[in-house]
Amino acid sequence: MGDLSGLLNKHNLDVMHSPVSAAMLGGMIARIVDNTISGKIAKTVFEAMWAGEGDADAVIKAKGLVQVTDTGAIEKIIDEIMAANPEQLAQFRSGKDKLFGFFVGQVMKASQGKANPAQLNELLQKKLKG
């Protein structure tokens, strides 16, 4: 993990003196694997663990960082974003495919970065083409 190496170098520490133990890293990785958090959210979790705020589960709970994987919740946000941006929606549907990134960004912003990226992309593709 590049972030760990970077911080160890910055603070002139070796891995044996890291404030983030192997067990803590393993706990964070487990939360990525089980889709509790995304890779992007993991950076926030790691920084909090480095700062001494606890293990991954404690940080995720304290900061409310659980990734949104509820299809209905993600679809609701997508519907709201589409409704709020009719001009961009019309442009996308008339062939401006690059606006897909705009919609992804808006949904991620509305979900505070918590929407599962893979689910978001899949659902957004279906809704935008509908």
Query: Chain-centre distance of CA 58, in angstroms?
Result: 17
Give backbone dihedrals phi and psi of 115, rounded to 5 degrees, phi first. -70, 135
pLDDT in tens, 85-123: 999 999 999 999 999 999 999 999 999 989 999 999 999
- CATH class of domain segment(s) 71-129: mainly alpha
How confident is the model at residue 130, as a pLDDT?
74
How confident is the model at residue 13, as a pLDDT?
87
- Mean of the per-residue pLDDT values of the chain: 93
Mean local confidence (pLDDT), 59-80: 94
37, 9, 114: which is closest to 46 by C-alpha? 37
Asked if 104 contacts 52 with a C-beta cutoff of 8 angstroms, the reply is no
> What number of residues does the chain have?
130
Domain ranges of the chain: 2-63, 71-129
The pLDDT of residue 1 is above 70: no
How confident is the model at residue 44, as a pLDDT?
94
Mean local confidence (pLDDT), 66-78: 93
User: What is the model's pTM?
Assistant: 0.73
